[in-house]
Amino acid sequence: MKRLSNLLAALVFASLVIFMSCGGGDDPAPPSAGEEAKDLIEGSWNVSGSPTFGGGIEGDWTGFTLTVSGFSEGTDGVWGGSYSVSGIPAGYGQVWGGDATATSASGSWTFASATNVSSVVTGDGVSIVLGTDTNAASLSTSFTVPSSLANGIFDEQWVFQFTK
């Protein structure tokens, strides 16, 4: 009888060890919308084609580049970062947040919300609608520069197409 009792105790102990080692293993949380967008947007982008202003081609933007970097998540769950642009044609500096004669500019941005990563708001309040493809090969931007930032001369919609 004592042998049966010991065998039963050993079986119970072995069963507990087996069940405890089969932990449910918490699955990692899926990436946030900001984390997913980072893979699509971060990097250096070269202008492709001719940007449009108010529906028509405007300026010679050959050599213009946009670099998006510094992604981080804010305490409110909204991701943001920084941008820099170079190769701005003469007279168009205000389009990307510089002064009228700037050939380069930089600034900060945040996504519209923790779940809306299809638009960003720059540090100076310009709202930019983004479009990306799923393999991060192209990026489009669409925005209007407020009159207060560009003396009313660039206050129609700008559309830029970029490739990596």
Q: What's the predicted TM-score (pTM) here?
A: 0.79
Q: How big is the CA angle at 85 (ends 35 and 141), to the nearest 5 degrees?
A: 60
The predicted structure's pLDDT at residue 130:
94
**Can you list the domains of the chain with their CATH numbers?**
33-163 (2.40.128)
Given a cut of 60, whether residue 5 has pLDDT beyond it is no
Residues 73, 67: Cα–Cα separation, whole Å: 18
- The pLDDT, as a whole number, for residue 118 is 93
Higher pLDDT, 105 or 19: 105
pLDDT confidence of residue 9: 43
Instruction: Report pLDDT digits (tens) over 56-98.
Output: 999 999 999 999 999 999 999 999 999 999 999 999 999 999 8
Is the confidence at residue 19, as pLDDT, over 70? no
What was the pLDDT predicted at 17?
42
The stretch 130-142 carries a mean pLDDT of 88
Q: How many CB atoms lie within 10 A of CB 163?
A: 12
Quote the tokens at residue 49: 């084609």
